[in-house]
Structure 1
């Protein structure tokens, strides 16, 4: 049975490239998902994944299926929405999630409209859901560079990001400008990784690999470094099992990976040591018994 699971990866180069791309994204996307959870911004990743679509569409209209043009356009569009949302929330005293909701819905509609101006349905599906089993060497290098930059930046600014995530008000009081720069850098990393992910998972599926492993990891431990490691492992496991599932059952690869991550998330919800339903129920029963 084990041989059959690995068989597709051993025989076909495109399966190996897809797996490497997903593993690289698992290392960079999942830590960002953990920090988004700590900031109570879990749905912001979903909003930003839609917000990059107009920039991707403009890059597509200008240069066709150019990796660089669509990536640059998506990064600019996502960063513009993120920074505009932060500025509007401060200027109007609205919650940041409210401004994100308004901006990302408009961005999604604009992006779909722009793509439809010069595309077939196949092109639109490619942008929305990706083409994981058609990862090119250029895409693999692009994803590897983004993942490497993300890991290095998180390592260098780890303490600052942790401070800003747990107690932004205290951090802001101690330093006026640095917290703003840390927040902008963090959001830029989120946008960069979503742009990298859309190459293989599409704009609608990438956020699944970002958030589901992160939420699952939170069910197992309250220790932040352990949470980051578990999230990356869950992301890697979801990538491998999802790709194998898609190959042997002939289902789309991106949704298969996200569905696998959802199954691991549900198992964590029920059996997670710290926040799982069953351990909490057992502890409550022991307390009542004693």
Structure 2
């Protein structure tokens, strides 16, 4: 019994000691778990709507608002959050109006709006801040989450999960067959706007932890990885959450033991999960190459 305990002790220390010993690791773990529960299902709906790159565009679009909040109030979460939320909604609604009333498609108008927003945001931070400030805004720091940031993350998660629960059928219908939803109900446009608000809220909540450039990674990588394992929306959300949770915990441990930046470590593991799923998933490359295995998993 003693030798077995002696062999397991290093594993226990590697996996649990950082979270038991340090308060900042506990806050980072809690924040990452809540973000995973909230962002991953939103990413699944973005993927089903064929709007995966919209999440990336919106993560860049919130930068000017966050930068304005930073310029006037410093690294205070509420002004940066409110600024990012306002600008993100303006970009989302502005690109939607352009695509609705002109010949330009929504993806092109979104690209134009987010590129302008990204340029303005970087210029604002660069003119009135240091390179360290710019790196913090762009990449965040999950190990520096404070009580205000955790409160915001939890609040957005509650709103997101409650909205998904209440409007689940409408969101699924709007993703899979928006014309049908508009033909049988008048809430199609309302659901579309509501969903864009959820996207912006989750990107803003992830901003403090992962920054504007990485927050979309925790939203989209688990979602697109889940597509290789299932075709059911509920299963996709569950698998995406599981991948996000694994990447978050593994990324924090990797950043602690290997002295790596925590945000990139989390996104790197989420990317590794995507590559693994793309090759070995039930709907991945290997199944397509091997006819016998395709028949077995069908």
Deviation at 1:283, TM superposition (A): 2.9
**Residue 87 of structure 2 corresponds to which residue in structure 1?**
77
- Separation in 1, partners of 2:100, 2:215: 29
**Residue 220 of structure 2 corresponds to which residue in structure 1?**
211
State the aligned residue count: 285
Is 1:109–2:119 an aligned residue pair?
A: yes
Task: Give SS of 2:256's match.
Answer: helix
- Separation in 1, partners of 2:50, 2:112: 18
Please list, as runs of the form range in 1=range in 2, the aligned pairs for 1:1-290 lying within 5 A after superposition: 1-176=11-186, 178-273=187-282, 275-283=283-291
The superposition leaves residues 255-286 of structure 1 with CA deviations (integer Å, 9 ceiling, x where unpaired) of 0000000001100001111x211122223677
- Separation in 2, partners of 1:251, 1:120: 22
Structure 1 residue runs without a partner (length 5+): none
Question: TM-score when scaled to structure 1?
Answer: 0.96
- Separation in 2, partners of 1:285, 1:139: 47
**Residue 6 of structure 2 corresponds to which residue in structure 1?**
none
Given that 2:36 and 2:241 are in contact with CA atoms closer than 8 Å, whether structure 1 keeps it comes out as yes
Given that 2:287 and 2:294 are in contact with CA atoms closer than 8 Å, whether structure 1 keeps it comes out as no
Task: Give SS of 2:117's match.
Answer: helix
- Separation in 2, partners of 1:24, 1:254: 15
- Separation in 2, partners of 1:248, 1:62: 37
- Separation in 1, partners of 2:30, 2:189: 34
CA RMSD of superposed structures (Å): 1.2
